[in-house]
Structures are given as C-alpha cells and as structure tokens.
Structure 1
Amino acid sequence: MSSSDTTASSNVGVVLGLMTWGKEGTEGARVHTIKDCEGMLDIFQKHGHNELDTAFVYTSHTSEQMLGETDWTKRGLVVGTKLYPSKTSDGTPITHSRADLRKFLDMQLEACKRTCFDMWYLRKLIHI
C-alpha cells in the first residue's frame, strides 16, 4: 500500500520534527519547498497525528519560517517550539533574559504566523 492510500490512525503518539525544513542552502535543511512540506503534513495527518516540533535554531530559524508558509493553521495541528540560549546565524546572542524572551518569542510567532504556541520550551543544555 502506498503512503497516499493510507487512512489509518495510530495508538502511538508521534511528533513530527521539522529540523530539516528550511531554505535551500541553509545548514541542515533537507526539505526546501512548501509543496514538499505540505505533502509531509498530509501523510502525517493521514496516519492520525497532529503534533509538530520546531525550534528557533533549526536551520537558522528557517524551519519556523517554512512552517509559517504552509497551511498548518487550517489543519488543526498542535505546534511546540523551543528557544535555546545560543547565537543567531549573524552572531547575535540569545539569552533567557526577559528582553530576549519577549524579542525571540515575537520573532518565532511572526515566522509561524501565530499569536500563540501550544507549547514553548525554554531549553538549556547542561554540560557535566
């Protein structure tokens, strides 16, 4: 059976990670067109899933931009995104200060064309 014929649902919760969605030429980007992104969403939803994961750092912030260019808001999808203390592609520091949290949340919301997220993770890598 081809994936386009599948209308099954699953008892297993699956989250579709979007870390390879991004503008062509961006480090880590493997999925470059809105048509391909929406095709992935079609297949994902045909299997009964609706949760997406992205992050500001994925493909230099272009993953969230690609998501914003799809029709995801009309599909009833749940989106969680993350903010890591790191640097932007131009070297601007990202911290968890109040000012940066507001600034980068606004940037993420604008990229995804939303006024809120279902989940916003503030991540911090701890090296032991």
Structure 2
Amino acid sequence: MTTLPEARRKPAITIARSEHQRLLSFATALESRDPDLAETLLGELERARIVDDHRLAGSVVRMGSTVRYQAGDEIRTVTLVYPAEADIALGRVSVLTPVGAALLGLSPGQSIDWTDRNGRRHDLTVVRVGSEDSARPGDRSAAAR
C-alpha cells in the first residue's frame, strides 16, 4: 500500500452518458499514439458516475463548460472542448490533454492532482463552472493574496 502524497484519493466525478460514450471512443483511439494519456482518460471514465444528460448538474465540468480553476498562485479560465475545437490562445483546452482530462466531471470546490506531459505533478481546484459565453478566454490572473 502506497502512502505517498501522489496516492491521494481522487475526487468523485460525474459525466453525462452521451459524453462518456464519445470520450471512451476518443480514449480507445488514442491508446496507440499516447498510451499514458489514454490510460489517464480511461481511468477517469471508469471511475466516473455516469448519469443521463438531463440529470447532470450545471455545476459539473462537462464538454463545453467554462471552468475557472486555481493552480498554485494562478487562477485560469478555460473552456473544455473536444480536440478539433481546441485553441489554447482562445482558452479552449482539449479533453485529450492532461489538464483537460483532470477537469472532466469535477464541481466547484473539488481538487485533483494531475501530471503534465513532462512528468511534473500539479494540483488544481475548481472555483466556478459556467457556460462558454461567461468565459474570459485565456484569463490567467494571479490569485488574490
């Protein structure tokens, strides 16, 4: 049994049934190109509570959600999107990135550790979840001290 901080329990997440099916297809297709990321996304999909689309609370991060989260001293606002819609300059983060996979299914107040492509561990906490039109793309304001 591992007792290191890296073994911290992941928070409960919820995903809409239609998005779960589509994301499962993406993750499976990704296995040959990026097995680590595929494994991360598949792990999130496996541990998620799956609900009918109309039962997913508006405060849950889902595809198309705009998410304000804190990572270290920074607060960022991004929109979680499918890969074809990703554009980091516009704050549109693909679910097929480590941070995108980490955000999926979280609610305000929840925190999660995630590992970037360079192997560095990060911690983020969801501050707010809203619709895409409430975003301030690319917002990277420093957290209030």
Report the TM-score, using the length of structure 2 for normalisation. Answer: 0.24
User: Which structure shows the bigger proportion of residues in strand conformation?
Assistant: 2
Report the TM-score, using the length of structure 1 for normalisation. Answer: 0.25
Which has the bigger relative contact order, CA under 8 A and spacing at least 6?
Answer: 2
Please say which structure displays the higher CA radius of gyration.
1
